[in-house]
Amino acid sequence: MPMLKYLVIYASETGNTKKVAEEIYKALPSKKDDKAIVDVRTWNGSLDAENYFIGFWANRGSCSLEIIDILSSLHNRNVAVFGTCGMGNTDSYYSGLAQNATAWLSESNNFLGSYFCQGRMQESIRDKYESYRGKCDDAKIDAMLKIYDSALSHPNREDFQKARYFVDRCVKKAENLVTA
């Protein structure tokens, strides 16, 4: 199989990261036969590309072992990471997610950048927070519930617009690496 120009690989537990991955795939400037999108659970390693967009849902500040395996297997490629998280909706948290994921990349790769946004969480998480009332600081519980509630509408149109902008930046960076 010939090498693709772009490959989007993602892990999505609740569907949030899949939605962002699909938006990234659509935003890539390549023809359909020069790009692909793959759920990590169906990944068999048969595809290869010059440029990888690897997405994951944040779990305790990191990515899954499946994503770590892919990141650590890449050499001499251009790689961008993206994802969603329910909590930690701050630039510093997003920066930490990117740092934790890219720690698995070989130095032979070119890191193109990262994009993260908030994602809707399962109802069971809200129930868990509510169950802590009276056992923990209720002000903390209220803060967690506020974050949970704000995540219900994500990823949204603005998140998708930012994902497309992220793709544009990464594509330009990759093109500049080729001409440099």
Domain with CATH 3.40.50.360 in the chain: 4-119+154-179
Would you place residue 1 in the very low, low, confident or very high pLDDT band (cuts 50, 70, 90)?
low
Which of 103, 98, 92 lies closest to 56, judged by CA? 98
> Would you call the peptide bond into 2 cis, given omega within 30 degrees of 0 as the criterion?
no
Q: What is the pLDDT of residue 71?
A: 96
Instruction: Please state the rounded mean pLDDT for residues 8-12.
Output: 97
Q: Is 4-119+154-179 a CATH 3.40.50.620 domain?
A: no
Q: What is the pLDDT at residue 180?
A: 53
Mean pLDDT, range 73-82, rounded to an integer: 97
Cα–Cα distance measured from residue 113 to residue 169, given in angstroms and rounded to the nearest whole number: 8
Q: Which residues pair with 33 in a beta bridge?
A: none
Starting from the edge strand earliest in sequence, which strands make up the sheet with 4-10, in order?
A: 35-39, 4-10, 49-57, 78-85, 110-118
Q: Is the per-residue pLDDT at 107 higher than 60?
A: yes
Q: Half-sphere exposure of 114 toward its Cβ, with a 13 Å CA cutoff? A: 19
Among the listed ranges 14-18, 85-89, 136-140, 176-180, which one has the minimum average pLDDT value? 176-180
